[in-house]
Amino acid sequence: MNKNDLVASVADVSGLSRADATKAVDAVFDSITKSLKNGTEVRLVGFGTFTASKRAATTGRNPRTGEEIKIPASVQPKFKAGKGLKDALN
């Protein structure tokens, strides 16, 4: 399922127009992104938790040349599925 499929599904289930469903889906994604940027986790009970995890700078190697390269520090998004989501899949 891609974003367009998700918007279509939200529009069908909620009875919203496709344009309103697009705004709703975008608003949810934007809210999650802003919270993670601010260092706040997003906990959706029964679905899962989105967190931001800091990764330290490391040294890696270019597989083609063997040359050492520096991999800068970064912040990575993480998602941990909640019990409700896990139970729904099993």
Q: What is the mean pLDDT of each run of 10 residues along the chain (90 residues)?
A: 95 94 96 94 95 95 93 96 94
Structure confidence at residue 31 (pLDDT)? 96
Residue 55: predicted pLDDT: 94
Q: What architecture is the 41-85 domain classified under in CATH?
A: Irregular (4.10)
Q: Can you tell me the distance from the alpha carbon of 44 to that of 41, in angstroms, rounded to the nearest whole number?
A: 10
Residue 48's pLDDT is 96
Query: What residue ranges do the domains of the chain occupy?
Result: 1-38, 41-85
Identify each DSSP E strand in the chain by its residue range.
42-44, 48-55, 58-61, 68-71, 74-81
> What is the C-alpha separation between 74 and 57, in angstroms, rounded?
7
Q: What is the pLDDT of residue 50?
A: 97
**pLDDT value, residue 74:** 95
The whole-number pLDDT of residue 78 equals 96
